[in-house]
């Protein structure tokens, strides 16, 4: 009579099967992670492109200018006159309020810092209670470009639940809207060499006293040691532990995934004998218009940051240093990851 008793796996066979499964998982997980990061890069590129298209769409009805909150709210219907209106949050909030942009395009799918999307329940698209005059308001002041907007601006007592929390609503940086860069903030200078928006970045240094330029024998900017540089969460968005990478939108409408903050094709003339690659996150010291020396900040190179404290359009002295932020977060104009 035939023995029909079923035979199970031996211990050795079971271990072999488990080893094969573990090996397959080990091979698949990195591939899945790479695919996910690739999808995030593409989505972020689409977000940056949408932001620039939104700025251009706004400019079509505003004499070719991108949003300038202090000019639009000259009657102080949205915020009180003493507020620093020209901060990043207000710029994007203007486009949200006009329904030119959606909150989704302002937050990166790869976000690694204290930024989160503002929901439709949190954003008031009509008569915002946080405005001075809700019926004549031009944006909802509750939208925060940085987690520290509340340190510099005062809004109505009806502020939303996120206003006093260290949470921002936008992952992306933009070019300054004042001083010599003011002419770039619009469609009249629609050049492919003008960086307007992009993934925000860390803080760089050259390790020397002249922070506005690379040292004579230095080819690359170094990440500043600490939470704003080498430990910055912006490196985790699309870059690596040691370098930044991200999407950048230019004023001619094209978007590029840049593998370095020092962008090939963008340059800064330090002096009569040296030209360096422009770093997107350093307010570099340029040769003065009259060609005299290097002790003059011309303020026209690419510089992408989130502005937690807006300035007037002249902003005398604000950009007289390569980094316009305070590492304690207690003062300054620019917000960077790592300050609180």
DSSP 8-class letter at 115: B
- Domain range annotation of the chain: 44-151
CB atoms within 10 A of CB 237: 26
Residue 282 φ/ψ region, left for φ over 0, alpha for ψ in the -120 to 50 degree band, beta for the rest = beta
Condensed to tens digits (0 to 9), the pLDDT of residues 6-44 reads 566 677 777 888 888 888 877 777 766 666 777 889 999
pTM of the model: 0.86
Query: Which parts of the chain register pLDDT below 50?
Result: 293-295
Longest dimension (CA), the chain: 107
Condensed to tens digits (0 to 9), the pLDDT of residues 184-224 reads 999 998 899 999 999 999 999 887 655 678 888 888 899 99
pLDDT for 294: 45
Q: Is the Cβ–Cβ distance between 232 and 240 less than 8 Å?
A: no
DSSP string, 182-216: GGGSBSTT--TT-EEEEE----EE-SSS-TTS--T
Helix (H, G, I), strand (E, B) or coil at 173: strand
**Alpha-carbon distance 261 to 142, whole Å?**
31
Q: Residue 120 CA to chain centroid, in angstroms?
A: 22
Q: Is the Cβ–Cβ distance between 281 and 266 less than 8 Å?
A: no
DSSP 8-class letter at 69: H
| HSE (side-chain half, CA atoms, 13 Å) at 125 | 12
**Alpha-carbon distance 205 to 313, whole Å?**
27
User: CB-based contacts of 327: which residues, under 8 Å, 6+ apart?
Assistant: 226, 228, 338, 339
Q: Residue 228 CA to chain centroid, in angstroms?
A: 14
pLDDT for 322: 64
Instruction: Quote the tokens at residue 54.
Output: 């939104």
Residue-level length of the chain: 340
pLDDT for 213: 81
Q: Residue 151 CA to chain centroid, in angstroms?
A: 19
β partners of residue 205: 222
């Amino acid at each position: 009579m035939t023995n029909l008793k079923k035979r199970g796996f031996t211990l050795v066979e079971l271990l072999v099967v488990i080893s094969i499964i573990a090996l397959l998982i080990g091979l698949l997980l990195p591939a899945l992670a790479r695919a996910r990061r690739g999808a995030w890069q593409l989505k972020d590129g689409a977000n940056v492109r949408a932001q620039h298209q939104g700025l251009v769409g706004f400019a079509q009805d505003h004499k070719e200018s991108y949003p300038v909150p202090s000019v639009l709210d000259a009657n102080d219907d949205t915020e009180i006159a003493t507020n620093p209106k020209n901060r990043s949050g207000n710029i994007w909030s203007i486009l949200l309020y006009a329904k030119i942009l959606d909150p989704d395009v302002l937050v990166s799918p790869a976000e690694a810092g204290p930024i989160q999307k503002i929901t439709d329940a949190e954003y008031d698209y009509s008569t915002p209670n946080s405005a001075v005059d809700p019926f004549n308001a031009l944006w909802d002041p509750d939208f925060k470009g940085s987690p520290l907007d509340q340190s510099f601006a005062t809004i109505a007592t009806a502020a939303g639940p996120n206003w006093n929390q260290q949470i921002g609503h936008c992952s992306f940086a933009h070019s300054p809207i004042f001083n010599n860069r003011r002419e770039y903030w619009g469609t009249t200078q629609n050049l492919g060499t003008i960086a307007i928006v992009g993934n925000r970045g860390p803080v760089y240094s050259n390790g020397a006293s002249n922070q506005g330029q690379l040292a004579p024998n230095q080819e690359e900017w170094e990440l500043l040691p600490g939470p704003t540089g080498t430990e910055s969460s912006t490196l985790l968005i699309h870059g690596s532990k040691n370098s930044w990478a991200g999407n950048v939108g230019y004023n001619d409408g094209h978007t590029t995934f840049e593998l370095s903050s020092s962008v090939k094709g963008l340059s800064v003339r330090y002096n009569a004998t040296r030209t360096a690659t422009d770093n997107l996150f350093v307010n570099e010291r340029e040769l003065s218009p009259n060609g005299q020396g290097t002790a003059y900040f011309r303020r026209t190179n690419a510089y992408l940051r989130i502005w937690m404290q807006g300035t007037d359009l002249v902003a005398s002295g604000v950009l007289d240093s390569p980094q316009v932020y305070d590492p304690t977060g207690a003062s300054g104009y620019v917000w960077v990851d790592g300050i609180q």
